[in-house]
Amino acid sequence: MCSIMGYCGSNADFNIFKKGFDRTITRGPDESRIIDTGNGFLGFHRLAIMGLSPSGMQPFELDGSFVVCNGEIYGFEQFKEQLSEKYTFQSESDCEILLPLYREYKTDMFAMLDAEFACIIYDGETGEYIAARDPVGIRPLYYGFDEAGTLLLASEPKNLVGLAEAIMPFPPGHYYKNGEFICYCDIASSDTICHDDLETVYGQIHDKLVAGVKKRLVADAKVGFLLSGGLDSSLVCAIAARESASPIKTFAIGMSEDAIDLTYAKQVDDYIGSDHTEIYMTPDDVLSSLETVIRILGTFDITTIRASMGMYLLCKAIHEQTDIRVLLTGEISDELFGYKYTDFAPSAEAFQAESQKRIRELHMYDVLRADRCISVNSLEARVPFGDLDFVKYVMALDPSIKQNVYGKGKYLLRKAFETGDYLPEEILWREKAAFSDAVGHSMVDYLKEYAEQHYTEEAFEAGCKKYTHARPFTKESLLYREIFEKYYPVQGEMISGFWMPNRDWEGCDVNDPSARVLANYGDSGK
């Protein structure tokens, strides 16, 4: 997944920089380098995925300008071909094209990229730093300022703890230049509404998702797949299985006694012929990993932490037991096509507004979870549902056809793959299950019970009063917040608040983020 960091000023202290940067060495264990730009430092921890030779090591340099990038740039070969008459390329790395692109197009280049990326550029001609992040925020980037007002940028907030007073996420779809954040792509917003007929919609969703999976199979390192047995991850795996010459490697995790997902994942495995591995976790695994997971995540959000327990332990096992370097996942489908709670949206317009909100906040919740759980185990995440062409199309669709008026959530996505024998009927039309519950309802119950035993009622009330931003409202949320503050003191505003259903909607005024508490959960947990 790589790690990048920049200390963007002449007053930068090397030892302080290195100490902060080394906190994310597991993101890029293959090789590390820090360079002095003459006006600060740029650092890169490498996880070699594309262009595995030493020539692919960053920072890349071009006539006194430098770049570090954590990313995958799809279609970089076309850019390389276009630029090859003017520039000599030294590696097979996709990120080597960034400095030539910057020289040719300056900041206009960011809107040209089909990529999951976060990058920092040092312009050797002007002596300034430019940073940018992909429109979905799949690749992480944070910023802050030291006491002297010098800008710091890093892949994770843990890099900046103790260096910057306030640490904040770099906004997705923006670049930073001359002290300003400038939006180059608001992917949640569409200038026009697409009124394609349903058959055309099904075909477009099918073709664009297939294309999104195919481009993410390209890697010089070995690729694996997280398979929950839910619709989203199962579709990614089914598409990949068709595009691969040999059986794909899939991985699933669950509690030994009540893991819903393991049963369905095995069914998908049998159908697509994957090389499948099951990992079991125990209550002790969950509770003993809790503090580690919160430290890794840098969040106090309830649902993010719950869902991370299984994902972290699964990725840890993959790292320890295999030579896989890249994992494809099924995140972002829910934000596009709807959760269980969005069945309660009072109108199509309300559904669309909620989808836009969730897309814009993805980098603080599901995408954050996937990035940290995977990258801390020296793996790279790729997210086909986050493909820019796919997201732009789905977000532009008339919300009246995306809203659940069919009696089945994610209807458009299911219909798009109804033909072609991608998945068994019962998987394609399986009800949405909350991920944190589907690894085993008992896991969440163990966490809640553990938190209950941790506080008296008096201690709980007193503990909650310590916080003004995102005040805890259950013993579980207080426990998570106090562990978070241990590692990220006074940085709670990095997270906008708790991920919860829209409480303004009838049927959604609940005090737990799990879909299990909703009246329409029905057969989802079976």
Residues tagged active-site = 2
Find tokens 């030539």 and name the residue. 100
Q: Do residues 354 and 409 make contact, with C-beta atoms less than 8 angstroms apart? A: no
Q: Do residues 226 and 233 make contact, with C-beta atoms less than 8 angstroms apart? A: yes
Alpha-carbon span 174 to 161, nearest angstrom: 23
- Cα separation values, 408 from 337, 349, 438, 503, Å: 11, 19, 19, 22
Q: Do residues 488 and 511 make contact, with C-beta atoms less than 8 angstroms apart? A: no
* Cα-to-chain-centroid distance, residue 278: 23
Which residues lie closer than 8 Å to 335 by C-beta, 6 or more apart?
355, 358, 359, 362, 366
| Both structure tokens of 488 | 């990220």
| Both structure tokens of 97 | 């094209």
Cα maximum dimension of the chain = 71
* Residue 514, strand partner residues: none
C-alpha angle with apex 5: 29 to 163, nearest 5 degrees?
Answer: 115
Tell me which residue of 440, 491, 444 sits closest to 265, measured CA to CA.
440
- The backbone torsions φ and ψ at residue 511, rounded to the nearest 5 degrees and listed phi first, read -115, 20
Alpha-carbon span 434 to 58, nearest angstrom: 39
Lateral strand order in the sheet of 180-183:
60-62, 65-73, 115-123, 128-133, 174-177, 180-183
Find tokens 């896989």 and name the residue. 324
| Beta strands 60-62; 65-73: pairing state | antiparallel
Alpha-carbon span 335 to 462, nearest angstrom: 35
Helix (H) or strand (E) holding 349: helix 348-361
What three-state secondary structure class fits 132? strand
What three-state secondary structure class fits 332? coil
Q: Do residues 37 and 122 make contact, with C-beta atoms less than 8 angstroms apart? A: yes
